[in-house]
Amino acid sequence: MPIVDHSAVPETPWRPNYQVFELAGPKDGVSSTLSYAILGDGAEAPLHFHEDDEFIVILEGTLEVRLGDEVRRVGADHTVVVPSRVPHGFTSVGP
């Protein structure tokens, strides 16, 4: 049974003020990828899309999220559901 120790996962270099840790993925024999990210204020992911669905779980803080033509602020204890091939991006706007 694969168990991931989050403290043992190395950081994947990404963007300034934006830490990413890949917890599981194809290297583990699964088709999905699960990542954990820590964003500082102002960190962002520019508009992009994926071939697969994406779920952005916000544990703390607030993101300003663009999903297609809609822009909303989304806070802790919410999940943004991003269908495949839908352009999306976000910026961390603080607590």
pLDDT, tens only, 47-64: 999 999 999 999 999 999
CB-facing half-sphere around the CA of 93: CA atoms within 13 A = 12
Q: Within 13 A of 41's CA, how many CA atoms are on the CB side?
A: 3
Position 13 scores a pLDDT of 87
> What integer best gives the mean pLDDT of the chain?
93
**Mean local confidence (pLDDT), 23-39:** 90
Alpha carbon distance 60, 75 (integer Å): 7
C-alpha span between 94 and 49 (Å, rounded): 24
Q: Could you give the CA distance from residue 94 to residue 72 in angstroms, rounded to a whole number?
A: 14
Element spanning 69, H or E: none
- pTM for the model: 0.86
